[in-house]
Structure 1
């Protein structure tokens, strides 16, 4: 071969060698960049970087993809628990990087780097991380087709202007960040290639602009949980490719736009929790719908019958509207129907029979309508059902037997209908049943013993029916039972002793039956019982002394045939009238009851005296024999007692002017002044005249269960560890300093006892001042000052303390009043501190904390607690202040409380004025109504609709009585702006759900 012929091969060899050398250098550079990226982050729970080691090519790294030339084009590491500060500018130095997926990790810190190195990126996903600070300017990322920053922790103003350069975007997700409030960004309307737009929960305000209909490629549009108002734009009907439209939780008004039915590709439509109105006729042609959610609006008219022919519809939620007519009878016939909730409308006609035709239905909620007819037998085989609620309708006939025993059913709610028949033995199969509500019907027969096999039951309400016979003896098997209400029936026989085994019981109401026999002493062993109503029966015998150990907020055994002396702790003022109607009962020298009459003149009493005299002589002789021994032991006993004093542990939280001996020597029955939420309370008067209150915390394993013991004996009983109530109260109060929270001076503990020493509040509790024989006239100004003071105390607990404190037992008896009637929040035995992790804000215990009448309704479904539960309870207190009534009274009607009663009167200003306490003068009634409206907001059924305590304080300040405002102006020389505080936000106050 000639030299000329071999030359091309030689130059080709040189070129390949040079190219290989360049690629090697480039590969080495990319390797270094990736290792720096790895060094900035770490992942302890996965092997994300296991393969990122020297000797391994970058293209073999986990999550790294390369192009045909071997350069890195994609880093894909979502859900890898990556932790660290993202070196975005560094990783963007990879020359061919087009895709960066780092979503669902734990990346944190701000992104302050210049993004000019990232101009080649086409996909950037940083969603669901923990970044901080602002989103940097995005103008340089003009090639981006996908941008996901959803739920990534960013805040501050978003650089909406920079979106104008991102015209290639097809996917834009910026929701669930705490951006500064802004109008809907018009820059988005220029992104004509968008297929996906997610701007939910990112502080958008104002109207959805006309022009949204120009984004005709959109398949997904989500603008929920913002502050958008006005109508849904008419041109939204141009988005014919939409499969999902989410507009819920805004302030949208008006009708569904004309032509909305053109969106025939729509599969999921949610415009719930707005102020929309009109009918649903525009939806009749949306045959592809899978989920339709329009609850909490003002829609009216009939539900289109075409919905019954939708072959994909599995979720229909339309509750809290004004819909009329009947449900389409073919609902669920074609589909694997999953959920229907049409509650709180005006619907009529029968329940459709086929919603569980395919055996998939889980939730059937139709309460508070006007449905008629029988419950279809087809649901007796619907084993997938978890919630079956049809209360407050006009249903009739018998319940199909199989429904009682559906295996996955959590809630049976048939209350307030015209249903009849018996609960069948099938209920033994209801292993998942939590709540059984069938009150206010015509059910009859005996309560089957098989109900004790439904061991998951938490709440039973059979009140206002025609049940008869005995309460099953096996009822004690229901260890999780929290509430049992059997009042207003015809039950007879004895109250089962086994009820004392239902250790979670909080409420027992057996009133208005024909029960006989004695009150079981075992009820006194129930650690959580705080409401016991056995009134209007035929019970005999004495009130068991064991009931003295209970922490009762409601105790009623009136109108029975009871005899004997009422235990002293049950004769306190708060229980006044609870034993009326049993002539054989007598009281003690304490509280509102007169003393028991002496029976020394009876023959039985005389014989007893003779016996005691003879026995006394025998005892005296025995004592003479022991005298010398006792005298010889006295010196040793005194030494032992002196040593025992050294075992007391005093923890002071304020400057003390007393010793533990001052306190211990005063813990006597004659100093007992009441029972708190978790123990007895004693009054202590020091030598200098200072008054204190001392709470002796009960321990369920020892002192709290034996009411016969003296206080001194209780202090000596052994136990292990502090009671949880003691720990909760000390933890909550030890470092709190607020004028409206009771002062805790110190704790005094030993191996044997727990005492808490507080300031003494001479005017007792708000409950006493409103509802008992200690009742004292409270003018409106005083009531208002009590309301706002208590609100500020709770505000501090929720918002002003380093770790928010949830009280969990807010009620008028836990609001104490000082000598000037200024309020203090007290009794923190159930308090819960929210930990930094956020996990401390809920409690999933089956035992519902709180007091009957004050407990928020969400406990019935979740048994979870947060600060909004305190807000509900405080709303009940406000209602007490305005109306002067108790949370539970007979005049409210069966199974109703003060909240439902006030709501029923809240239709107009005139009717609301009628519920104001008649002792409040006419000139203050408008001011009282303002506070009542705040109470209504506080007691909203959904926690999310309740204001925070900080907002409650602001609203109460806006509702300041006119006389107080005038006084404040007269006493203040500063210039006033001429507008009364009460007038500035009158609309804000008058708006209530």
Structure 2
């Protein structure tokens, strides 16, 4: 028998080992903690020298108090991952650090964590290649998705991991590689996520041997060839997604075996043939096969699928009817079968459960009436049945759907009228109903649908008056009522719709005078009132508009034509008004007499204008006399042609040097800035150009004349620097649809002219923030964000030498006639020289509110500084706010405000512009999250602009509702083409 003392002596070393292990593990974890940035995390409050290591937050120990698990996902951790600490934990089996902001390279030290069974580093911001982890042969779970790794993935490491159950390495910019054969040896896998990791070639036949798989995802790659028939052996699959590849041929025989499948997405490929192989998959919840080349009919069996909640088959060549009972069994969400050749009626029962949000069947050959059941579908947001052969009366309740955001019934043979129920449509933004047989009057209740942005009731048989209260529609941007039977006067209140950019009331029976209030519409770009019975004089206020389309022809207008409306661009826009006269005998119009044809108001205005002009000329003469010396010294605009000019073209030119020089005069001035004046030049062919005039002079003279920036002052002087010429030469070679085009430079000893393409819709700043802003819907804002990001991506990655813009801001993003963005104003741009450190510059450039914080403590800037500024632009687009607002607080800006909002989901969502419809809030939040990443304080934490483009494309508002959630928490939106 052992005495108690003997037993104690035996156990003492064991207790000593336990104490040592616990102490060593604590120190390792404390060293791990000290190496991280923890400013926004309270997960480590319990990690101290007094607590037991097994009581640390996120730590699990075994029976001998040795650390086995580290569980710290989504804890706002940032910094480098100190694996040399963690892999000293001899019992560590689980390391879960996903959804943080860890960055830098993951080192070979990971090979020392030989006992790991679970490794999750996904959703971080690492860089460089992922190391060989062959020694980790006990791994069962490996999650590296969206972690930032690049280069070649060590697929050979997997050969030792025969016990692997789940593998997720998708959403990483790996080098293009064939589908990895090594994966086929992992016979125990139940989940394989290889989406968006640059796989090419064909899927190996052996994929069918992974019979334990329940989820298989390899979308967004470059895979080709026919779809592997072996996948039909994977009978346990409940999710199969392979969208956005280049698969061809027919769906293989054998897919019918996947009777457990719930989510099936093969959209955006090149499949052909019919869908008959899918008619046995009666457990389908979501079916996505849009943008392929499928033919034949939609299997009637789909109408009996009891779990189906969404189906998207748009942009195929399907024929025949839509199954009558489709979507009638479950809580159906949406159908999108647009852009096919389908016939027959619209199924009436898809909103049986009262959950449907989108009915999209446009551009088919459907016939019959609109089922009245959809008038009671209160959840409907998008109702689009346009471009079919539908007939009958539009159900009255359709117009009053309380959550509808778009009603699109155009290009049918529908009858009835817009009902008074429309006063219930509080979220309705767009009505498209042209080319039907609608009749009756426009109800006065339409003025209560205050979210309306677009009304198109053209090409119908609508009569009566426009309701006087239409001025209540403050967000209205487009009003098309042409070719109807509407009469009476044009309401003066229309001038209260300050967002209006497009008005077409032509081919009606409007009478009386044109309301002068139309001349005060700040965003108006197109006005067509032709072929009516309007009378009286043309309001003088219309002369202040700058219109791309202007047509008052074939009315009964009288009196003088305002001088500003006699330009060549408006030729024919006043024809058919025999009572009009012209002061300058333009065209076939009579010449106005000195008094007849002029109203008292016009005569008074003319006299006052003349007196004012004389006074102005006198003052100008005094000013010119006083400034004559300086004017002669620096080359006044009156004498530009007297100088010797050198033209250097960068594109094929359709104009001459003289045309440009003749147009640099005060009446063509459209803008002034730190880098000079900007003029709009109208060429003889009617085309517009923008010309920037930059003076080359000393700092003091420049400040007196143009309020210049230090950067331009440095460049100035009678002799231009070689740097200026080098930058112009480099920028002139840019060819990208989202960077403003520089046609040529025209230089002299005293000044330089840069000739650009003209952007008629001004800047993004103007559209978002000025008092006369034009409302931008979310789709437009999103397209502007993506386009501008792609332009910046080209500057950073697409040029022979990267270009750092250094002044990215919303006022330097210009918008063309289609509101497509162009990055402009390269006055501060820096070309990265091959033999100079690319982040070195000694000029603090940029605009307050957009400047990256590193400018405050270093002169070193690089592409990440542009990314920061672009992040601010994204914040403007999503929130609608300026970079600097009083509500942000003293010394605070939009970045601080948004980052603070990001601390909770509800607060973050509240930051989204209230004018953005609820259906787009999720997409808007995704863009706002990208902006938060772009504006990280440390440049190393910011993504590249190329990564930002990918983030924005992932937030595309072209698919609606229905999320397929993977086990890692990532989601893929299933498809509704929201462009419809």
TM-score band, normalised by shorter chain: 0.5 to 0.7
Mapped to 2, the partners of 1:155 and 1:610 lie a distance apart of: 74
Question: Does the aligned pair in 2 maintain the 1:692–1:760 contact within 8 Å?
Answer: no
Tell me how far 1:693 sits from its aligned partner.
7.5
Whether the 8 Å contact between 1:487 and 1:513 is mirrored in structure 2 is yes
Partner of 2:425: 430
Residue 775 of structure 2 is matched in structure 1 by none
Number of the residue aligned with 2:10: 15
Give the match's secondary structure for 2:414. Answer: strand
Counterpart CA distance in 1 for 2:577 and 2:362 is: 41
Offset from partner CA, 1:341-369 (integer Å, 9 cap, x none): 00011111111111000001011100011
- Tell me, yes or no, if structure 1 residue 453 matches structure 2 residue 454: no
Q: How does 1:331-370 map to 2 (within 5 A)?
A: 331-370=326-365
Mean Cα deviation higher: 239-248 or 156-165: 156-165
Shift of 1:159: 1.3
When residues 36 and 519 of structure 1 are mapped into structure 2, their CA distance, relative to the original with a 3 A threshold, is: same
What is the deviation of 1:89?
2.9
Residue 272 (structure 2) pairs with residue 299 (structure 1): no
State the partner residue of 1:912.
none
* Cα 1:522–1:236 shift into 2, 3 Å: same
1:692 and 1:758 in contact (8 A); partners too: no
Q: CA deviation at 1:168?
A: 1.4
> What is the CA–CA distance in structure 2 between the aligned matches of 1:861 and 1:463, rounded to whole Å?
27
CA distance in 1, matches of 2:242, 2:821: 43
CA RMSD after TM alignment: 4.5
CA distance in 1, matches of 2:450, 2:431: 12
State the partner residue of 1:926.
Answer: none
Q: Which residue of 2 aligns with 1:741?
A: 742
* Helix, strand or coil at the partner of 1:151: coil
Alignment match of 1:421 (pick from 413, 416, 440): 416
In 1, are the aligned partners of 2:743 and 2:757 still within 8 Å (CA)?
Answer: no
Alignment of 1:109-124 (within 5 A): 109-124=104-119
User: Which of the numbers 49, 52, 75 marks the counterpart of 2:47?
Assistant: 52
What's the offset of the Cα at 1:845? 8.1
1:94 matched residue in structure 2: 89
Superposition TM-score, scaled by structure 1 size: 0.67
- For the pair 1:597 / 2:604, whether they are aligned, the reply is no
Contact 2:742 2:754 in 1 (8 A): no
Match of 2:465 in 1: 470
After the TM superposition, which residues 794-943 of structure 1 pair with which residues of structure 2 at under 5 Å, given as runs? 801-803=803-805, 806-809=813-816, 836-838=869-871, 840=873, 844=877
Note closer, same or farther for the CA distance 1:273–1:860 as it changes in structure 2 (3 Å cut).
farther
- 3-state SS of 1:840 partner: helix
Alpha-carbon separation, structure 2, partners of 1:572 and 1:148: 66
**Would the alpha carbon gap of residues 295 and 644 (structure 1) be closer, same or farther in structure 2, given more than 3 Å must change?**
farther
Find the aligned partners of 1:417 and 1:494 in 2 and give their Cα distance.
29
**TM-score, normalised by the number of residues in structure 2:** 0.68
Q: Which residue of 1 aligns with 2:753?
A: 759
Cα deviation, residue 797, structure 1: 11
Deviation by residue 1:713-735 (Cα, 9 ceiling, x = unmatched): xxxxxxxxxxxxx99xx9xx999
The match for 1:558 is 553
Instruction: Determine whether 1:579 maps to 2:574.
Output: yes
Aligned to 1:496: 491
Question: Structure 1, unaligned stretches of length 5 or more?
Answer: 624-629, 651-655, 667-682, 700-725, 747-756, 768-790, 816-831, 848-857, 866-939, 946-993
Output aligned runs, 1:371-382, within 5 Å: 371-382=366-377
The answer to whether the 8 Å contact 1:326/1:348 transfers is yes
In structure 2, C-alpha distance between the alignment counterparts of 1:554 and 1:139, rounded to whole Å: 68
Q: Say if 2:160 is the partner of 1:165.
A: yes
- Matched position secondary structure for 2:426: coil
Separation in 1, partners of 2:455, 2:242: 38
Q: Measure how far apart 1:639 and its partner are.
A: 14
Distance 1:431 1:657 in 2: 63
Q: Is the 8 A contact 1:422 1:443 kept in 2?
A: yes
- Find the counterpart in structure 1 of residue 57 from structure 2: 62
Q: CA deviation at 1:45?
A: 2.2
Measured at CA, do residues 460 and 605 of structure 1 come closer, stay the same or move farther in structure 2, by a change above 3 Å? Answer: closer
Deviation of residue 691 (structure 1)?
5.2
CA gap of 1:838–1:698, structure 2 versus 1, over 3 A, is closer
Q: Does structure 2 conserve the Cα–Cα contact (< 8 Å) formed by 1:499 and 1:523?
A: yes
Distance in structure 2 (CA, Å) of the matches to 1:98 and 1:130:
23
2:77 corresponds in structure 1 to: 82
Q: Residues 154 and 468 of structure 1: is their aligned pair in 2 closer, same or farther, counting only changes over 3 Å? A: same
How far apart, CA to CA, are the structure 2 residues paired with 1:594 and 1:279?
64
The answer (yes or no) to whether the contact 2:743–2:756 under 8 Å persists in 1 is: no
1:427 and 1:685, CA in 2 relative to 1: closer, same or farther beyond 3 A?
Answer: closer
Matched-pair contact (CA < 8 Å) for 1:157–1:180: yes
Cα distance in 1 for partners of 2:875, 2:746 equals 29
Partner of 1:232: 227
The residue number in structure 2 matching 1:696 is 669
Q: Show the counterpart of 1:284.
A: 279
Deviation sequence 1:438-488 (CA, Å, 0-9, x none): 111001000001111111111111110110110110001111111111111
1:139 equivalent in alignment to 2:146: no
Deviations 1:658-678 (A, max 9, x none): 759x35999xxxxxxxxxxxx
**Quick check: 1:411–1:436 contact (8 Å CA) kept in 2?**
yes
Which structure would you say has the larger Rg? 1
Seen in structure 2, the aligned counterparts of structure 1 residues 200 and 795 have a Cα distance that, compared at 3 Å, is closer
Flag the 1:124–1:512 CA change in 2: closer, same or farther, 3 A.
same
2:145 counterpart (140, 147, 150): 150
Provide Cα deviations, 1:762-796, integer angstroms capped at 9, x if missing partner: 999999xxxxxxxxxxxxxxxxxxxxxxx999976
Residue 560 of structure 1 and its aligned partner are, at CA, apart by: 1.1
Task: Give the aligned partner of residue 176 of structure 1.
Answer: 171
Alignment pair present for 1:103 and 2:98? yes
1:16 partner SS: helix
- Name 2:506's counterpart in structure 1: 511
* Aligned-pair CA distance for 1:690: 10
- Tell me whether 1:43 sits opposite 2:45 in the alignment: no
* Cα distance in structure 1, aligned partners of 2:548 and 2:8: 96
- Give the SS at the match of 1:427: helix
Matched, 1:325 2:326: no
Partner Cα separation in structure 1 for residue 275 and residue 222 of structure 2: 24
Q: In structure 2, what is the Cα distance between the partners aligned to 1:402 and 1:198?
A: 45
1:26 to 21, 27, 46: 21
Unaligned runs of 5+ in 2: 641-656, 673-707, 717-723, 733-740, 762-789, 823-849, 851-865, 881-915, 925-952, 959-980
